[in-house]
């Protein structure tokens, strides 16, 4: 660990111990494929992750990373490689399993919740990646997510806001069925259409549409008959 002053976003020793084996294995595999040629790895993986967490927490651009972190170009390079190689998804799965087991659940969930939200985007976002959600009168993007019943992330998909919930949900459900084959039940709201329910059935997943009570406003948790 570096001698620099710590930032609030830095990993604690306990959190680093959880994810270090995954990152160390990734580095070892990449060096193995390179047959040992090239310069030895010099950058501290913990500092790389701390820098990524700093960007995530503060929202600064990569070029504005404080100088006591590794050079921003190196940090972004690691970020891009970890994203491409599925390292963040692997870490998310590992941490989700640990949380579920701590809560007395099975490591893999058997039920999930799917939902979507349209959000406005800034003027710097390319127009080709945006769309209009006519129902909510929002021009921007839509983020569709799948969580287990503890609210832990299983999958996420970002699209133009014009993409219909059922279309985005179909892609997400296919991904979940592949990555988490233990899923047998899912809840959605009334924005998802009949063909989505039918598609879930072909995957062996029972889908239930949870309707909002007429007249309610704002966020209101909807009771579920079984929680797993």
Question: Is 79 among the domain residues?
Answer: yes
Question: Is 223 among the domain residues?
Answer: no
Residues 189 and 114 in one domain: yes
Question: Is 3 among the domain residues?
Answer: no
Q: For the segment 51-85, what is each residue's pLDDT rounded down to a tens digit?
A: 999 999 999 999 999 999 999 999 999 999 999 99
Residues 50 and 125 in one domain: no
Q: Can you give the pLDDT of all 228 residues of the chain as single tens digits?
A: 567 899 999 999 999 999 999 999 999 988 766 544 455 557 999 999 999 999 999 999 999 999 999 999 999 999 999 999 999 999 999 999 999 999 999 999 999 999 998 888 877 777 777 888 777 888 888 999 999 999 999 999 999 988 888 889 899 999 999 999 999 999 998 778 778 889 999 999 999 887 666 666 655 555 555 555
Residues 202 and 133 in one domain: yes
- Pick from 50, 85, 120: which residue ends a domain? 85
- Output the pTM of the full model: 0.77
User: What CATH number has the domain bearing residue 190?
Assistant: 3.30.420.10
Residues 76 and 123 in one domain: no
Question: Is 101 among the domain residues?
Answer: no
Question: Is 25 among the domain residues?
Answer: yes
Cα angle for residues 103, 107, 110 (degrees, 5° grid): 100
Residue 195: give the domain boundaries: 107-209
- Pick from 38, 54, 85: which residue ends a domain? 85
Residues 113 and 188 in one domain: yes
Q: Which residues contact 104 (CB under 8 A, 6 or more apart)?
A: none
Question: Is 168 among the domain residues?
Answer: yes
Residues 78 and 115 in one domain: no
Residues 154 and 192 in one domain: yes
Report the pLDDT value the prediction gives residue 165, as an integer from 0 to 100: 87
Question: Is 7 among the domain residues?
Answer: no
Per the structure, the count of domains in the chain is: 2
Residues 159 and 202 in one domain: yes
List own/partner pairs for 7-16 with CB under 8 A and 24 or more apart. Answer: 7/50, 7/54, 7/66, 8/57, 9/50, 9/53, 9/54, 9/56, 9/57, 9/58, 10/50, 10/53, 10/54, 11/46, 11/49, 11/50, 11/53, 16/46, 16/49
Question: Is 30 among the domain residues?
Answer: yes
């Amino acid at each position: 660990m570096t001698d620099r002053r710590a930032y609030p976003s830095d990993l604690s020793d306990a959190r680093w111990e959880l994810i270090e084996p995954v990152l160390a294995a990734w580095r070892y595999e990449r060096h193995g494929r390179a047959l040992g040629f090239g310069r030895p790895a010099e950058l501290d993986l913990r500092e790389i992750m701390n820098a990524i967490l700093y960007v995530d927490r503060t929202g600064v651009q990569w070029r504005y990373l404080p100088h006591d972190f590794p050079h921003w170009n190196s940090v972004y390079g690691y970020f891009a490689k970890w994203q491409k190689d599925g390292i963040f998804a692997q870490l998310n799965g590992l941490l989700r399993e640990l949380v579920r087991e701590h809560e007395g659940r099975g490591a893999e969930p058997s039920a999930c919740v799917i939902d979507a939200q349209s959000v406005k985007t800034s003027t710097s976002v390319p127009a080709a990646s945006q769309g209009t959600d006519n129902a909510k009168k929002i021009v921007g993007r839509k983020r569709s997510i799948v969580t287990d019943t503890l609210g832990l992330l299983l999958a996420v998909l970002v699209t133009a806001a014009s993409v219909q919930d059922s279309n985005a949900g179909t892609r997400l459900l296919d991904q979940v069925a592949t990555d988490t084959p233990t899923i047998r039940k899912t809840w959605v709201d009334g924005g998802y259409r009949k063909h989505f329910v039918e598609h879930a059935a072909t995957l062996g997943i029972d889908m239930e549409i949870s309707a909002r009570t007429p007249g309610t406003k704002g966020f209101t948790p909807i009771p579920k008959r079984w929680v797993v």
